[in-house]
Chains A and B, each alone.
With several copies, the nearest count.
Chain A
């Protein structure tokens, strides 16, 4: 009962063992690990937001579209309007947060399930991204030039590229990590999204377990009626969670847009789904009130590892989806069995 993430950790170990046995050895070199951790981290940032919202008893299906929409907004800020990052990034986050708040307010006011409200926003935001992109570019569905626009901005290294490049270069030159023939390290540094992922997972865990707000989130998701009767400001908590989730999506948008240098209308497609999967693998209950950020952290890693890892194996890639589904099933079954074992019967 007490440790939702236990199963996810066990699942991660299981998946690792599976790939150690079946995948090409390059998967677990430093470069290989960075390679599958990058998409896992991008998904994970979304998944932690989604997990907190799920613990609070709600869903947000619009986060995938939000990635596209916030990406567009950020792209317009920096390319079209030429704003520096110190303005563009907060503006994007505030803007995304506002959309999240609208989601939240509609859910709370109407009493409708968040599933259906945010589903409407899934379509609306996706559609607006397309319209906005065409307006911004004069007809194309891709907005380019972000990399040039943010070049040299002092904030850029925090949101794109690789961190600790100096360290890695010196490690490579001293032969501690692999390097290319020309002497540059195979892994130039740690992609910033991985660092963000770690920081956000730690923060979310702290908030959930060590602050009054965390208690309110669990309470609001466990039984919003009982929570409100006990004095928890349920509406405020839930709206804040919607804002937080939207901001997570916006952060992912900023990072990926700066990394790719461009954004298009299909960014973040179905990420809402993957984020929920990762959260559920991580032990969150769909009914709310139970789960953990650490669980979502490992859930995202499992998902990322399976998606990318299968490419390292010799399986016919036509079977990709079959394996993905099968491994998901095995991971959650295993995860569930372990949790029941460790924490006693429910």
Chain B
């Protein structure tokens, strides 16, 4: 069986590399022939073309993430029209059914952001910044919006790049410039989260740092008490389950009856130590 995964995150994105690892594990377990593909940047036009390319190869199953239903809709509908079973992962739970996907495995970015915001507000946060390492990437923007809503207090976005030194300096600058900031929400663990922790440590104030996704380094900070939590959506499952479902579907026609929520899953100090090792291997 041939299964193609088209996702909006690049293979070198720490978050998506875990999805890809899940995909590969599933390929190994099911014996299916699986390809993971993604555009070079967050580019919806290019992604729709990749879906078209996948459909042309008439695979036995197609896994897609749907950060922009308008842009990707026609291509997904074309896949469905071609009789290819489609499962959506990660983003797009709201439109998945409507576009003809069999089911959705993942977590809604906005909801996850909201959950994180609520958690940080409950820890006493009143003024927060949302460290966004890729401004304009809609799924990251949604996380920030969700955070703002859940957090309730005042919050603003701090746009940065992927460069750890720059992120650290900028977070420091933001904290220096505004003494009232007591909460930092990072949108990626290794790119934004770890440097944020370093900045907070250097400045010596009592500030809660949370992050989306996980990295071994950040988890260690949670264990050490330098950071509050990581919001895990167990993206390994998104890759693994979607492929597994489609492989089973191709072989036996099986398919679960409803969407699978892979997250959110709050990793705090109690759980962090257990997952550090798995995270270092790209499984969590």
Check if A144 sits within 8 Å of B280, measured CB to CB. yes
Check if A266 sits within 8 Å of B41, measured CB to CB. yes
Interface stretch, picked from B68-76, B97-105, B115-123, is: B68-76
Answer yes or no: B255 CB below 8 A from chain A CBs. Answer: no
Answer yes or no: A108 CB below 8 A from chain B CBs. Answer: no
Check if B173 sits within 8 Å of A311, measured CB to CB. yes
Check if A142 sits within 8 Å of B12, measured CB to CB. no
Select from chain B the residue with minimum beta-carbon distance to A32.
B56
Check if B48 sits within 8 Å of A269, measured CB to CB. no
- Given A39-B166, A308-B49, A266 and B216 touching (CB < 8 A)? no
Answer yes or no: B274 CB below 8 A from chain A CBs. Answer: no
Interface stretch, picked from A92-100, A109-117, A165-173, A177-185, is: A177-185
Check if B281 sits within 8 Å of A266, measured CB to CB. no
The interface residues of chain B lying within 8 Å CB-to-CB of A126 are: 12, 136
Select from chain A the residue with minimum beta-carbon distance to B58.
A26
The interface residues of chain B lying within 8 Å CB-to-CB of A142 are: 14, 68, 138, 141, 190, 215-217, 280
Check if A317 sits within 8 Å of B158, measured CB to CB. yes
Interface residues on B, range: 35 or more
A-contacting residues, B15-64, CB 8 Å? 17, 20-21, 35-38, 40-46, 48-50, 52-54, 56-58
A-contacting residues, B200-255, CB 8 Å? 204, 215-217
Select from chain A the residue with minimum beta-carbon distance to B177.
A24
Select from chain A the residue with minimum beta-carbon distance to B276.
A144
Tally of A interface residues using CB under 8 Å = 56
Select from chain B the residue with minimum beta-carbon distance to A140.
B282
Answer yes or no: A232 CB below 8 A from chain B CBs. Answer: no
Check if B81 sits within 8 Å of A24, measured CB to CB. no
Check if A35 sits within 8 Å of B281, measured CB to CB. no
Out of A130, A265, A308, name the residue touching B169 (CB < 8 Å): A308
In the assembled complex, the Cα of A341 lies from the Cα of B71 at a distance in Å of 45
Answer yes or no: B180 CB below 8 A from chain A CBs. Answer: no
Check if B141 sits within 8 Å of A140, measured CB to CB. yes
The interface residues of chain B lying within 8 Å CB-to-CB of A312 are: 53, 57, 173, 176-177
The interface residues of chain A lying within 8 Å CB-to-CB of B54 are: 311
Residues of A within 8 A of B (CB): 23-24, 26-27, 29, 31-32, 35-36, 38-39, 42, 126, 129-130, 134, 137-142, 144-147, 180-182, 184, 186, 256, 259-262, 264-271, 307-309, 311-314, 316-318, 320-321
